[in-house]
Amino acid sequence: MDAATRRAAAADATAASRAHPHPAPPIALDVAAFDRSSLTVYLNDALTLVFENRPEDPIAFCADYLRRVLSGAGPVPRAYQFLTLCPHHRTAFIDNAVVAFGVLEKERGGVSAGDAKAVMQMLCADFPREVAVAVLRALGRGDDDDAEDVDFFEFLGGVRACLAFEEALGEVERAFAMYGAADGDDAAGGGDGGENENENENVVDARDDSRTVPKSTLRDVLRRVGEDVGKRGDKRWDDFRALSTRVVDAIPGTRVTFSRFATAVFRAMAPSPSPASGGGGGVWDALA
């Protein structure tokens, strides 16, 4: 190799070195600082919750958990996170509810009515506005945040009622939207269900209170949706269907709005007042 070739090769090597500099040496990890940060405790909690609750996306779950903890999320958002880790009918839900209650619990025991109401507001965030207002009136004593503290069984009952209500209501709302009709219209959903029937013609906004369905149609909707769920082995629907049918029968008139139906169903599902509260006037007052 002549001198010119060597100089060219050296120049190429220098250019390559500048284009791809050597990586900086790794920063030394301060193990003692890591241990003091309590991150190992958080990681242990996150992994335990993953094993107990089996979230669909464990990585996203752990990231969300650590994000909430490290950002200093308040007690109410943390309690909400625990309550929504898994479906309410799983065994792990009770353990999560105990932890959520502990996050909110005051030194003298019990959860304040204000904190309980705030949790219920988060659970009801996707409800129709009128229904959410009615539910919160039952669960949070209206606007009275200074009311008597809520014990664990009242807290658990309210949370489960909200979650079960949301689960079942979603099925009914979908069917209600398909079969609803504006006041004065012919009863919708009375077709033969044949292939030539355009079901989209009857799709409406279930939350629009100018839309009603005949009670007879709603009973039929409840029966059919119940059968669909029953085929999947979910027997819990049978209890909800029976309760909903009784609610429909008790509503005056021949037609009903979705909000009226949903509010009445929640009133029937809400836990009874705690015996410790002396019966009436408790957190679970009947809906006005």
Please, what sign has the CA dihedral across residues 89, 149, 123, 131? positive
pLDDT of residue 192: 39
Q: Is 145 exposed, middle or buried (0-12, 13-18, 19+ CB in 10 A)?
A: middle
pLDDT of residue 17: 55
Q: Looking at the structure, do residues 61 and 120 belong to the same domain, yes or no?
A: yes
pLDDT tens string for the chain (288 positions)? Answer: 555 565 566 566 555 555 555 556 556 666 677 666 667 777 777 888 888 778 878 888 888 877 877 776 788 888 888 888 888 878 888 888 998 999 898 877 788 888 888 888 888 887 767 667 766 666 555 555 566 788 888 888 878 877 877 776 676 666 666 655 444 444 444 443 333 333 333 444 555 566 677 888 778 777 766 565 555 556 666 777 777 788 888 888 888 877 777 777 777 766 554 444 443 333 333 322
d(Cα 258, Cα 264) in Å, to the nearest integer?
A: 10
pLDDT of residue 276: 43
Q: Looking at the structure, do residues 142 and 71 belong to the same domain, yes or no?
A: yes
Predicted structure pTM score: 0.57
Cβ 240 vs Cβ 266: under 8 Å: no
Cα separations (Å) of 121 from 12, 125, 132, 211?
66, 6, 8, 26
Total number of domains in the chain: 2
Give a yes or no: residue 182 inside a domain: yes
Q: Looking at the structure, do residues 215 and 117 belong to the same domain, yes or no?
A: no
Give a yes or no: residue 251 inside a domain: yes
Q: Is 253 left (phi over 0), alpha (psi -120 to 50) or beta?
A: left
Give a yes or no: residue 219 inside a domain: yes
Give a yes or no: residue 99 inside a domain: yes
Give a yes or no: residue 278 inside a domain: no
Domain, as residue range, for 107: 38-160
Cβ 65 vs Cβ 44: under 8 Å: no
* CB-facing half-sphere around the CA of 242: CA atoms within 13 A: 4
Q: Looking at the structure, do residues 42 and 136 belong to the same domain, yes or no?
A: yes
Give a yes or no: residue 146 inside a domain: yes
d(Cα 146, Cα 112) in Å, to the nearest integer?
A: 8
Closest to 222 in 3D by CA, of 210, 232, 212, 230: 230
Q: Looking at the structure, do residues 186 and 172 belong to the same domain, yes or no?
A: yes
Q: Looking at the structure, do residues 177 and 133 belong to the same domain, yes or no?
A: no
Q: Looking at the structure, do residues 149 and 48 belong to the same domain, yes or no?
A: yes
Q: Looking at the structure, do residues 57 and 101 belong to the same domain, yes or no?
A: yes
Give a yes or no: residue 145 inside a domain: yes
